[in-house]
Amino acid sequence: MNRYAMMKVALILILFGIILVTSFANSDNNQDMSRQGPPAEAIEVCKNKVAGDIVEFTDPQGETVNTNCREINGLLAAVPEGPPPERPPQPR
């Protein structure tokens, strides 16, 4: 194999490695964004309600939260009052 062909193969392998590493690095970031929109429980509790109705919603941790039904992307869903709770920092 001549020198030019070896350099070409080496360059292709390096590019493939870079693409592989970046795809694995981005897979962690996409886990948080995998769910789009409100959870099914938040939509279910606002069935047969109108925007602005106050409902109690049990979050995935089992805590009861006072919420308002609000329209989000065309869906009526329970939204907690006030700012969202702080998330703990993600380990790197």
Domain ranges of the chain: 1-34, 36-82
Residues near 66 by beta carbon (within 8 Å), at least 6 away in sequence: 54, 55, 56, 57, 80, 81
Question: Does the predicted TM-score (pTM) go above 0.75?
Answer: no
What's the whole-number average pLDDT of the chain?
Answer: 79
pLDDT confidence of 51, banded at 50, 70, 90?
Answer: very high
Q: What is the pLDDT of residue 54?
A: 92
CATH number among 3.90.1200, 3.30.70, 2.40.10, 2.70.98, domain 36-82: 2.40.10
